[in-house]
Each structure stands twice: as C-alpha cells, then as structure tokens.
Chain A
C-alpha cells in the first residue's frame, strides 16, 4: 500500500518535473536548433583555423597586395577583391533600376491577369542554376557581346577611355560577368522592392491623388520615398548575392588574378578564384591562402547583408523608411 502510493507520487513528481514530456521535447527541439548555431560556428572556426598559415604569413597585407603566384608562394587578394566588388557593383548598377521598375509595374500598373504570370517568371529567374547562366554566357552572350558591343567599343572609344580599351580576346571579362550577375540578382531586387511597395498605405496614395497628382507623381512622391529604405535594402541583398556568386562568374570572367583598368579584360572574383584553384592547390600555403580568401569573402557578404536586413526590417517594422 505504502509503496504503491510512493510510486504514484514519484511518477507524478517525475511527470511534473518533465512537464509530461514537454521538457524532453523542448530539449530535443532546442538541441536541433542549436545545431544550426553549431553549423555556423563550425564554418567560422574551420575557415579561421584553416587559414592560419596564410594569416601568419601575410597578415593584413593579404588584402592590399596584388601578386598571386602559387609557384613562388606569393599571395595577395587585392585583384580578387577588386574583381568581386567591381563586377558586383556593375551588376547592381544595371539591375537596381530595372528591378525597381519591375516592382513598380507589377505593383501599380500591371493588369491583374498578368500580375501572377509575370511575377512568377521574374521569380523563376532566381531558380535557374547558376551553371546554366554561365553556359549561356559562354555560348550565347559572349559571342554576341564581343562582336556587337565590346570590339566596336574598344576600337572607337577605347583608345581614349582606358575603361573600354582593348584588345578583346575571347571576350571574357569584368563587364560580361557584371551583366550576367545583373540578370541573376534582378529577381531579388524586384521581389523585395515589390513587397516593400505593397505595404505603402493606401491613404498615402489617396492623399496624392486628391491633390491632383498623376499616376507617376503618386509613385515618385508618395510610394518611393515611403519605401526607400526597403528598396535600398533589397539592392544590398542583391549585392550580397552578386558578391558570393561563384559559377556564373567563374565561367565568364576569365579567371586572371590581375587588375586592369579596362572592363573588357579578364579578371577574377574571390569566389571564382577559390572554386578554380582550391581543388588543385598542392602547397599548404596555397590552399591556406584560398581559405583565407573565403573567410574574407564571408565577412564582406556578411556586412552587405547585415546592412540590407537592417534596412528592410526598418521599413517592415515602422512602415516609414524616410
């Protein structure tokens, strides 16, 4: 009798302590969720540890020197960082106005019937694997670009402007990479701008319309200022995507770790340098330098994305982006 009561009360106490299994469930869910943190921690720790050779050998000079010679063991990341940033900025300059225009079109001009299919098509651009963009760049876009744009440009304007100077060899180079990247980041910018424009309250539009504004004036003076921070955030997210994009850049940029003034000359990006050299790196220092480069790339994209998220978050939270 007594022992029975004891076991029952023990069971109750155990049940209460485990909250009828809820404690176990909470612990299991938390463990899996913490795995995500562990994953991120492992990535940082592994790249940090793996790059220790290069960090000790070059330190901060890694970021400011431009010699990249695996044979003599000299590694400077400047050309890769330059190529990454310049190609991404070209992409952003091309994609940002287009993306915002698409968002405006879909949000306030598009007939309701077309809205879904066009929005979906733009979003599908983001789903196409990057290697397919790279192949299309090599087989279709570069031949077209070389014969109709870069060769004529370098022969005429190129002699005066070093930015467009020749010779245009195979046609792989910074500008081509920037254009392909622009196509790839367009959906990101369009989608976020569209979301942000959609939360502009109707009262703002109605106020403008009541003052006699045209449709464009409503967009220009009511919608865009309201959504500005969010749109800039979308652009930064697109920039982040362009900075880290590997395959398309690898295939069309030419993979030459040198800095040229001309946009038609082959260059390289951090991601494409890693992708093309890491599998063949045969000295410790070489692979360590590439891992260091990966760490630097991670930090650059992290900064771009943090700014982006802060901006998008501000609009969706407070509503006002001004």
Chain B
C-alpha cells in the first residue's frame, strides 16, 4: 500500500469513528468535541485532494469559530439526561423514517452518474506555479460574483436580525457610557472651595 493511501485510510477511519461518536456519546460537550475531531479529519481528507484553501477554511471557520461558540453554549446548558431520554420510544418511528428517507436519498444521488468518475475526469498534471487559492478567488469574484454577493447580503441580514431579536435593554440596568464619561466638565464633578486658613490661639 502506498504511503498516501495509508494516510487516507487513517483520516477516513478517524472521521467515521468521530462521526459515530457524535451521535452515540451521552455527554453533549463530548459530542461537540467529537464533531470538532470529525471536521479536522475531513479537512485532512480535503488537503489530500489538493483543495488546501477549502481544507484550511474548514478548520478556520468551523473548528476555530463556529464550534467554539457552540461549545460555549453547550457547556453552559444544564442538560438533564434522564428527562431528555423520556419519550424515546414515541419518537423512534418518526426518527427512523427520516433516517431511512435520508439514506435512500443519498443512495439515489450517489449511485447516479452525476457523481461517477466519468463526470469528474482527472484534470491532469497542474502547471508549475498553479495556485488553488488564486483560482478559487478568480472564480468567486468573476463568474460567481452575483451569487457570492447575494449570499453575503443574506448572511449580513441574518446577523443583523439575530442581534435585533436578542438585543433588549432593561430600563433598570446600570451601565456606563464611555463617551459621556469622557466628555465631562471638570466643574460638574469637583467643586473647589476657597477658604482662608484659620489660626488657633
């Protein structure tokens, strides 16, 4: 077996193991950490496909930012596992149905010709000085400029909406306004009293 293949199977095994653990492990924090492991292994696989920009972006965005915030929330939740498992039997048929549907859909798509090797032939040897990142950037900002900008606008709207929905300020909360603190007249704060010294006889 070639060395490259060995690495591929290593990452593949870790990825499948981590993904299984995400849905089987009891503790939600540990599940989130296994998800991180799954992302990192997937990034390793993408690196082997010479998609280094996508691989590093996956680590940067999902591992470095999204999962940190996710962990942040999950850690603070006080999850009662006993209550969580109540009614497991009730939901089992519906959940099973969804799972079967998902597997069937994936099987239909993946077994069709669209994902066969014939659809994506080997691009051949890349010219010297070929930069994956540069090519991706050129495609995004020329051919796919409009979809890219629309996606950006949608994300921005989502951010603004999320903040607008959660930002509430109670009237009785005390907070500081730095601008007001800086723009203060000295005489509003300190009163200089002049008085003559007294003499004790």
Tell me if chain B binds chain A: no
